Structure formats: structure tokens, C-alpha cells
Structure 1
Amino acid sequence: MTYNFLTLEPLSLDTVAAALARCLNVDVHEVEVADEGTDQDLRNWEALVLCEKTTVRGDVSTSLDVYVQQSVDPQPTERELASAFAWVTGAVVLFPAQEAVPSAYWAATAEGSVTRARLDVSDDDEARYTVETVEAPVAQLPRASVARIAEVVREQPIATPLAEAFAAHLNRLHPVETSATGSPFWLASDRLAAWEKLVRHMESAWASSGWCPPDLYLERLRARDELEGLLRSQLPDSVAVLLQNALDSLDALFTELTVPDPGVLREELLPADVRSSTNGWWWDRRPDPLPW
């Protein structure tokens, strides 16, 4: 398994080797750490743990690319190893998040906390790393702003089994119409996925982000508006029945997870001149508390 870490603090080869050995419960002689000055011909390429250490510039000092042989057991997750490495070395360790946003990272501290971080990498010949934002204060990053990082929530992977089954069925029966971007069939699949993402995210208590940006909540609520319009006039009966069956399940779950709303949601999300014209029943219910 491979791991990609960045540390704020500079670390020596011996420190990295000792820390990896301790975290992975292997003998330190089975850990091979090399940097730019290491003679490649003298390396132990059969070691259980191989690590490439690179010195970098900016808020970050050290880059570590770690490869752990399959024979090492257990194989920790990236989060687990980063947290253990931070605790052993006393360093702040950054590791990439799952979301497909280049700046999306997590920061693990020696005190045991793990928080999201936004990392900028310059386009200079010698890249410079800047930690712009963290979602919780990190003492070693006094210049980083402390704020929620909205862009990763949009990219957060959320399973949508009902939308996937609906799209697969349309693709089998109407492949041309379903693949045509902007067609009613394509819109039905796309908007159903957006609605399901909102309901599943709500069901998970907003994991793993812990919140939902209001503009994203509004976008996915409007997806439900569009689905209603598609049901009424733009889909053949056979497709409308399939879509309604998927919506029945999601709408029931949405109802279970929300409370009646006298207008708080509209006030939070909509300008005053359009609040009264938004009529779907899903606008009359909201999560409690609101997730932003």
C-alpha cells in the first residue's frame, strides 16, 4: 500500500525510519528511507517499507512517499498511519482527501486531532506549498484562516443506488436519449442523483463533512423541483413510473429526516421575491438543525 504525506516540520532520515518502524510494528532495519542525496545503488530495495523523502518549500518542509509491502500486517489506512506518525514525531502531517479536488487535504496533529485543510501548490519551477485554510485551528499554522471548506462537500462521494439503477434501466431501453446531455431522460437521471445525494447525506448526519453548504442544499432542492416538472410533462409514462417509484422511496426518507417548516428554509435560501412562488412540498420541510 502507498501513502503520501507532507509534514510541516523538517525530519531527518533516521527520524522518519524510526517513526515508520514504530507505527507499522516492523524492525527499523526493514525500513528504507532515501532522499535526494542517497546513493540508489546502496538501497535495500527488498525492505518491508520503502520511503522517498523530499525537501519542499513553503508551509510544508518534507514530502514522504511511503510504500508498504503486502506482507506487513495490519495495513493501516492513510488516516491511521498519518495520525500515528504525527503522534510519534510530534509533526503536523498532511495527507490527501478522497475528494477530487487537488487542494483537498487532511491535517493530523500530534495531539490527535484531524481536520480538513486547503493546500495551494504554486506553479513555480520549485513549487511552494501554502496551507491557506483549516477547518479547526492548528497551532503550527498561525497564518492559515479557520473556516469551513465548501468545495470538498460537493465532491464528496455519496452512494446513489436508486439513481444508478434508474439510469442503468434507461440506458438499456433508451441509450441514445439517455446519453444526450440536456435531454429529458438525461435530466431525469442527473437530477435524481442530485436529490438522492442530498437525502443520503442527510441520512448519514452529513458525514463525513459534518455540514452542507447552503448553496449546495439549494441546488439539490431545486433538482427535486425539476424532477416534478419532468414527471408532469416531459417523460413517457413508462419512464415516469420508474422515476416516481424511485422518488417515493427517497421522498419518504426525506420526510422522515425533516421537520415541518413554516418558512425558515425559504428565508435562508431564497430572495424575498421568489419565496411565495416556490410550491413543492419539500420546501415546507427542513432538517433540524439546518446543516450550515
Structure 2
Amino acid sequence: MQPIAWNDLQDFLAVARTGQIARAAVLLGVDATTVGRRLRRLEARLGRTLFEQTREGQVLTEAGETLLAQVEQMASAAERIGEGADPPGALTGTLRVSVSEGFGIWLVAQHLESFAAVHPALTIDLVANSGFLSPSRREADVAVLLARPRHGPVVASKLSDYALHLYAARSLVERDGVPTLATLGKRHRLVGYIPDLLYAPELRYLHEIDSALAPTLRSSSINAQARLIAAGAGVGVLPHFIGGHDESLLRVIPDVAITRGFWLVTHRDTRQLRRVRAFRHWLTQLIDQQRDRLLPACNTVP
């Protein structure tokens, strides 16, 4: 058998992690045709089919799963070797962190400079949007998820609980009166998520209050929801670290209190990499310092 090029294995790993040749090509900085050609070459040299083509993208075959386990071990070893070549104390390479939009923008991004300043040679990707990258598929080095993963080669630990409440703009209360459970969705319009675009079941806040409640102003973005609520467009559920720190907002219907959790998740094969350990330590310390922003007493309607 002809020798297998490490580049071909890296392309295989990228496709296995992303599930699509096009996404892998973006990650690798090459065109999709090149990735496809390398995959075909790898399959020819191994004499095995590594992926099945589906409507969603590439799915690993049994042979592909076997190869993935071996290549991930090789990639982890290569990363550890690379770290060993760094000057003592220096962190280099790329650290990719996947977080929810609200947590990423309102907590992590506001303080990330302190971590970056200590590690100036490290490139940090903060992926903060509606959805998560998967640590189990090595799409991210670190992820902060809304639930503990039930399976996969990952290690998860509880980062913190956080509180959510119903909020309304002061202008809305002055205009339409104080919201009550009876007026939600009637005199007081509801702001919330688009049901079929929810990326996590933990975001079904309104159903927890009353299964009959349904928002009529909807967005997949928690930040867009926060702006709608602050503009007086309606009443909605926000994390306290967003709603409780906006002077234009009041917590309404104080009996309604929702609790969710953040879980810190890493791949078990890379969690001991120095850059991953350093970020985990920094983030844990940050959340300890910001605990009152997550689980505080909120400003309520008098």
C-alpha cells in the first residue's frame, strides 16, 4: 500500500468533525474540490469507503469510525508535541470556544481581553451564536452548553446555574400597566423564540410558565429579543445577566423564576492541552467572580 499523507488524514478529520466537505474546506482554508480529491485518494489507498453521502452531508461508515478514532489520537499527539515546542509558559495555536449568544456576548466577550493579554500568541475563536459547535466531534476545544451531554467522548462539569425572569420596559409599564399572568399575550404582547428554530429544549421558557403562552414577536436571537423588550414592544423572558443590568427594564411578575445551567464541556482527548486547561481555569474564575450577575436579586416593579 502506498504511504498515506498526513494532509489527507487531516482533511478526513475535518470532514468527520464538520459533517460536510464544504465546511471542512472553509476550516482548512482550501477549496472543496481539493478536499474531495484527497478523500477519494485516501479511500483508494485504504481500499475502504469512509463516508456515505447523505442530503445533509458526509456520514462516517464503520470503517470511517474506526479510522477516526486512530486519527484523533494522532492529532492529539501532534498537538501535544507542538505544545512541547513552545517557549515555557507561552500558549500558541488556535483555541476555539463555542458558547450561547447571550453568555458569549454579555459575559465572556466583556472580559476575554484579560485572558488574551496573558496569552498574546494564542488565536482565540469565540463562536457565540444561536447553536453550538460539538466538542465530541472536535468542532470546538471548549463549549459552554445548556445541558450535560448524554454521550460522546467528552468531559463535562457544571459551570453555574443562572436565573431568568420576565422583563418589561419601564415605558411599557407606564403605557400599558403592570403585566400579570392574566394579561400576558393579551394586553401585553409576548416576545420570545421562534419555536421551530430553537437550538436547545432548555430555551422553552414560556411553556414552563404556562403551556398556553405563545410569543407573537419572535426571534432566534436573545439579543434581538432583549432589544425588542427594551423598546417597549412586549414582555419576555431574559437571563438576569442581560435583563437585570439594563436600567430601562423592570422585572415583572416576580413569582415567575426560572433556573437553567451552564455546562463546561471539553473533549476527553484534548482537555489536558495547556491552552484548554488555561481557558477552563480562566473561565471558571470569571464565573466565580460574576456569580451575582447569574443568580442575583432582581429589580422588580414596585
Higher relative contact order (CA 8 A, sep 6+): 2
The reply to whether TM is greater than 0.5 is: no
| Higher alpha-carbon Rg | 1
Q: Per the shorter chain, which TM-score range?
A: under 0.3
TM-score scaled by length of structure 2: 0.25
